[in-house]
Homo-oligomer: A and B are copies of this chain.
């Protein structure tokens, strides 16, 4: 029997207890021993819930119990999660967490403590919820240099953009629907501004580079400015708009960004709809791969946490996770990244095309039926700095949306 403690009895915490109970038999078979939840830590009481019998309000009871070999941290936020996790690791207890903020900020340090102690700090659920991505990166794609990792990592915004695409609905309307359906918080800022996706791509970037990538260094743009008309232009070009969190190798650097991007209908991420998440990976020998599934939700997230517990239980005195070093990786300056840009601009396409092309080089004009006051154009590949210099000459630009091309695709 292996004893564990669960810190936090919210959505994910209660899911972890439920999954361990529902699949008790097959989990025991896989581990070779039973996993028993000895403690649940929460400030609240849960009268009538069976968990009440094992509920504690004081972390000290857990840390001083040498029977507890694995600690599950599903409280969220930096403190007290960070203190509890660090003390657990230092006390020789493996930790599994779903806490993306904690991993993005302190992952390197916590991994190095786990390595030193020959235990494990695992965080599969912190990115992509139930989708296996951390472990495949760590133990399956080990023959490859990962050249790109691009994800739809936030279910709320993907639900909203999917509705805008398929139903022609507006931003405010889909946000209200998302809130009514429980897919968006009352304060949706972390989702719609891209902050959630940013922490997740910071974690993935750290993993593929082996160095610390600070989320504060990643340029992040949300979807709050995206309109029905932007989506109409996307459709006109047989594309869609998705909030992408992307990290691409560029020489010794990584180029990382979170932004709404145009995506062609041949891209594997094109068809990832609703609250689903997916992560596209391009390896230098593997080529393209994609991992798809539920990016959030009580049971899918708990499934990933419990899978980490299973791995930790099978490796009680053996470190299995690749470390990322705490020295910071320099990200490529956003101005140096090369891509195509879609631009909406007021005026008449026929009259302006020659002038636009004299500045931007050859562009592809995109017009919407029954829209006369504006049009769109798609530039060739250029650096973002060059784009900005060109764009400065056009005060009548309404909006710019970046286009995401598949790795290896050439003009």
Question: Would A303 and B288 count as touching, CB distance under 8 A?
Answer: no
Is B292 in contact with A292, judged by CB distance below 8 angstroms?
A: yes
Q: Is the interface of A mostly helix, strand, loop or mixed?
A: mixed
CB-based contact A286/B270 at 8 Å: no
Min Cβ gap A111→B in Å is: 15
Distance between Cα atoms of A194 and B128 in the complex (Å): 34
Q: Kindly identify, within residues 236 to 277 of chain A, every residue whose CB is under 8 Å from any CB belonging to chain B.
A: 268, 270-271, 276
Q: Is A76 an interface residue (CB 8 A)?
A: no
Contact of A286 among B26, B139, B294 (CB under 8 A): B294
The docked-state distance in angstroms from the alpha carbon of A288 to that of B294 is: 7
State the CA gap A297–B143 with chains docked (Å): 15
Contacts A132-B140, A140-B124 given; does A300 touch B284 at CB 8 Å: no
Contact B143 A139 (CB under 8 A): no
Task: Find A299's partner among B271, B286, B310 (CB 8 Å cutoff).
Answer: B286
Q: Would you give the shortest CB distance from A411 to chain B, in whole angstroms?
A: 21
Contacts of A311 in B (CB 8 A): 139, 142
Give the residues in chain B near A361, CB-CB below 8 Å. none
CB within 8 A of A23: which of B18, B139, B284, B299?
B284
Interface string of A19-46 (1 = CB under 8 A from B): 1001100110010000000000000000
On whether the beta carbons of A140 and B292 are closer than 8 Å, the reply is: no
CA distance A124 to B143 in the complex (A): 12
List which A126-150 residues lie within 8 A (CB) of chain B.
130-132, 135-136, 139-145
Would you call B23 and A130 a contact (CB within 8 A)? no
Q: What are the interface flags for A293-325 relative to B under an 8 Å C-beta threshold, 1 for contact and 0 otherwise? A: 110010110111111011100000000001000
Q: Which residues of B contact A1 (CB under 8 A)?
A: none
Report if A368 contacts B (CB, 8 A).
no
Q: How far apart are A348's CB and chain B's nearest CB, in angstroms?
A: 36
Chain B residues near A300 (CB-CB < 8 A): 285-287
A195 interface residue (CB < 8 Å to B): no
Whether the pair A143, B19 counts as a contact (CB closer than 8 A) is yes
Given contacts A23-B144, A307-B140, contact A299 B285 (CB under 8 A): yes
Quick one: closest B residue to A270, CB to CB? B271
Q: A23-B145, A26-B145, A292-B290 are in contact. Are A285 and B271 (CB under 8 A)?
A: no
Query: A170 in the interface, Cβ–Cβ < 8 Å?
Result: no
- Give the residue name and chain of the B residue nearest to A137 (CB): B132
- The answer, yes or no, to whether A291 is at the interface (CB within 8 Å) is yes
- Say if the beta carbon of A289 comes within 8 Å of chain B: yes
Least Cβ distance of A213 to chain B in Å?
17
User: Which A342-399 residues have a C-beta within 8 angstroms of B?
Assistant: none
Interface membership of A283, Cβ < 8 A: yes
Instruction: Tell me the minimal C-beta distance from A251 to chain B in angstroms.
Output: 15
Instruction: Give complex CA distance A144, B26 in Å.
Output: 8
Of A27, A293, A309, most buried by chain B (CB within 10 Å of CB) is A293
Residues of B within 8 A of A306 (CB): 142-143, 285
Contact check, A292 vs B268: say whether CB atoms are below 8 A apart: yes
- Assuming the contacts A135-B136, A135-B139, A142-B30, asked whether A22 and B302 have C-beta atoms less than 8 A apart, the reply is no
Q: Give 28 A-B contacts (CB < 8 Å), ordered by A residue.
A: A19-B285, A23-B284, A27-B142, A130-B286, A132-B140, A135-B139, A139-B139, A141-B303, A141-B307, A142-B306, A142-B307, A143-B304, A143-B305, A268-B271, A283-B303, A285-B300, A285-B302, A285-B303, A285-B306, A286-B300, A286-B303, A287-B297, A288-B293, A288-B294, A289-B291, A289-B293, A290-B292, A291-B291
User: What are the 3 tightest A-B residue pairs by CB atom distance, in nearest-first order?
Assistant: A143-B306, A289-B293, A132-B140
Q: Knowing that A131-B289, A142-B307, A286-B299 are A-B contacts, what are 12 other residue pairs whose CB atoms are under 8 Å apart, sorted by A's residue number? A: A130-B287, A132-B136, A136-B136, A139-B307, A139-B311, A143-B303, A285-B303, A286-B294, A286-B303, A287-B293, A288-B294, A290-B293
